[in-house]
Structure 1
C-alpha cells in the first residue's frame, strides 16, 4: 500500500470500506447543509425544512435540495477513490478540524485584545478626543463593532491559521493567567477595575474550554471511566469506540446543534443576530454573542472530530495498519 511522503506512517490506500466512509462523509456534508440552511432561515428569512414538510411553505424545497446535494457530494467523494484507507480519511478530516480550531483560537485572541483596548478607551473617554464624537458613537454600538471590527478580525484569523501550525492552547491558557494577574494587581494595588477585565477572562476561558475539547478527543485526553475497556484488545476497542461514537458522541452533538440553531429565537441564533452584549457594566466587551456561538462551534468541531474518531475505530476493528499508539493513563 502506498503511503503519502509527508505522512509515512499513515497508509493512504487500503481495502475498500465504502459503508463506513460513506457514513462519515455524509455526516460532514449534512452538517454543512444544516449550517447553510440555518443561515438561510436566520439571515434571509427562508421557511426551513419543518415548514416544507408540513406543507406550510412549498418554497422550502430549497432546504431539501441542499440535503440531497450534500448526500450526493458525500457519495461522490467516497466513490471517487474507493481504495482510500479509513485512517487516511480520518487523518485529513482531523487536519481540517485542527485548522478550524487554530483559526478560532487566533480569532478569540485578536478580538479579545482589540475589544479590551476599545473598552478601555471608552471607559477612559479616549476615543472622543482622538477620533471625534461621531466615531465614538459608532464604537458604542455592538452591531457596528461586530460587523466592522469582529468580522474582519475573524477573516484575518483564518488567514493567519493557514500560515502557522501552532494550536495556541498553552498560549491562551497563559494569557488567561496573565489577565487574571492583571485584575489582582489593578484591584488590590491600584484600586482600579473595569468590567472589561472580567469579561476578557471569561471570553478566553470559554474559548479554551470549548475549542480544545475536540483536540483532547484526538489525544484521548477526556476522562474515561471503565471497568472492562482497559482489558480489551485493539479490535474490540474499535467496536466499542465506533458504537459509542455514534450512540453517545454524535447524538449529543446533533442535539446541541438542533436545539442551539432551532430557529431565529434559539439559544445560539438569537444572541448572534442581536449582537448581545454583557450586562456586567457599561464598558464591558462586546463579545457575549460570540460566547453563545462558542456552544455551536464546540458541537461542530466535536462532530467533525467524532467522524475522524469513528473512522479510526472502524480501522482498529478491521486491524488495519497505521494504528496510532496513545499513552493511556494507568488508572481509570
Structure 2
C-alpha cells in the first residue's frame, strides 16, 4: 500500500514540477506577442491561442500536485486548530464524500464532450489557430483522473494516520503553506 501511495505522490510531484514551467513559458510568449504587436505590428493567432492552451494545461494538470502539497482552498476556521487525528478524519471524509464523487461526475459528464471532440479532431475556429482543441478538452479527464489518484493517496495517508501507522506531517515543514491569518 505504501508503494502505491509513493507512486501516486511521485507521479503528481513530477507532473506538477514539469507543468510549472508553463508559467514561465506563458510569460515569455505573452511578452513576445506584445512586442510583435506593438513594436512590429505583427499579430499571431497561433501564439495567442497557445497562451490559453498553456494556461489550461498548467492549472488542470497541476491540481493533483496542489492537492499533494495541501495547497487547495479550504475553510481553515476549524481545520487549522484541529488535532492531527481530526485533520486526518476530515481529509478522509472530504476525499470519500466530496472529492471522489465530484471527480467521477466530471469524468462521466465530460466523456461525451471529449469523445465528440476527438471524433472530429476539433480544432480552432481560426484558420491560423491551433488545431488541437480535442487535446485541450482531453485534459479535463486527465485532471479528474489525477485528482482521483491523489485522493486515493490522501485517503490512504489519512487512514494510516488514524491507525497510527504513519505520523502526521509536521505543520512547520516546508511543504506546509504559511498561515495568512
TM over 0.5: yes
Q: Deviations over 1:10-57 (max 9, x none)?
A: xxxxxxxxxxxxxxxxxxxxxxxxxxxxxxxxxxxxxxxxxxxxxxxx
2:86 matched residue in structure 1: 236
Asked if the contact 1:257/1:296 (under 8 Å) is kept, the reply is: yes
- Counterparts of 1:131-280 in structure 2, within 5 Å, are 167-261=17-111, 266-279=112-125
Asked if the contact 2:19/2:61 (under 8 Å) is kept, the reply is: no
Q: Of the candidates 321, 326, 329, which is equivalent to residue 166 of structure 2?
A: 321
Asked if the contact 1:237/1:316 (under 8 Å) is kept, the reply is: no
SS at match of 2:130: coil
CA distance in 2, matches of 1:231, 1:328: 15
1:297 to 2:146 alignment: no
SS at match of 2:138: helix
How far did 1:170 drift? 3.5
CA distance in 1, matches of 2:127, 2:6: 46
How far did 1:88 drift? 4.2
> Which aligned segments of 4 or more residues in structure 1 are displaced greater than 6 angstroms?
none
CA distance in 2, matches of 1:93, 1:275: 31
Q: What is the TM-score when the length of structure 1 is the normalising length?
A: 0.50
CA distance in 2, matches of 1:324, 1:91: 15
How far did 1:95 drift? 2.1
CA distance in 1, matches of 2:90, 2:38: 53
SS at match of 2:85: helix
Give the number of the structure with larger relative contact order, counting CA–CA contacts within 8 Å between residues 6 or more apart: 2
Asked if the contact 2:22/2:58 (under 8 Å) is kept, the reply is: yes
Q: What is the TM-score when the length of structure 2 is the normalising length?
A: 0.90
CA distance in 2, matches of 1:288, 1:219: 30
Asked if the contact 1:211/1:298 (under 8 Å) is kept, the reply is: yes
How far did 1:97 drift? 4.1
CA distance in 2, matches of 1:171, 1:98: 13
CA distance in 1, matches of 2:85, 2:78: 14
Asked if the contact 1:260/1:296 (under 8 Å) is kept, the reply is: yes
Gaps of 5+ in 2: none
Q: Which has the larger radius of gyration?
A: 1
How far did 1:179 drift? 0.6
CA distance in 1, matches of 2:65, 2:113: 25
1:95 to 2:30 alignment: no
1:312 matched residue in structure 2: 157
